[in-house]
Amino acid sequence: MPAATPQFEFDADKLLVRLNLTFAADPNAISDVAEGVLRVLKAMDCACGHEFEVETALRESLTNAVIHGCKGDAGKKVQICVACDESRGMLIVVRDPGGGFDPAALPDPLLAEPPIATRLPPPPPTLCAKMPCE
């Protein structure tokens, strides 16, 4: 049974796309791409004091796409799209050619001994989180 399509509270007609980039899945490109995206976000004034959290989530997403989605094959491509909705915040989408995974198939981190959730810091906000400027 396919997973339900995620629903986001962004109005596609109001999104201002500021960056749509495709790059070779080379691990050495991750820092340059992340820094370029962060410059665009700063110019858009969209991160609004959440720059560290956005950078962390962005670097993790790009690394995951290169390593897992593209299996480190620089012949494959990763796409990143950055958009801003003036009333709701930013939207960053990272795409890769990987097959993905079923989150429901992952073990429950709370059932580990000791629970993994007690050993790890809280995760950074997801890239689809609303981050309106205040």
pLDDT band at 108 (very low <50, low <70, confident <90, very high): confident
Which helix (DSSP H) or strand (DSSP E) does residue 20 occupy?
strand 16-24
**pTM given for the model:** 0.70
pLDDT band at 128 (very low <50, low <70, confident <90, very high): very low
Q: Are 45 and 16 in contact (CB under 8 A)?
A: no
CATH 3.30.565.10 holds for 12-97+105-119: yes
pLDDT band at 129 (very low <50, low <70, confident <90, very high): very low
Residue type, 63: T
Q: Are 98 and 105 in contact (CB under 8 A)?
A: no
Q: Are 45 and 133 in contact (CB under 8 A)?
A: yes
Look at residue 110 and tell me whether its pLDDT is greater than 80: no
Look at residue 130 and tell me whether its pLDDT is greater than 50: no
Find residue 25's DSSP bridge partners: none
Q: How confident is the model over 72-96, as a mean pLDDT? A: 86
- CA–CA separation, 36 vs 94, rounded Å? 14
pLDDT in tens, 20-70: 899 999 999 999 999 998 888 888 777 778 889 989 999 999 999 999 999
Every domain of the chain and the residues it spans = 12-97+105-119
Q: What mean pLDDT is reported for the chain?
A: 78
- CA–CA separation, 87 vs 132, rounded Å? 7
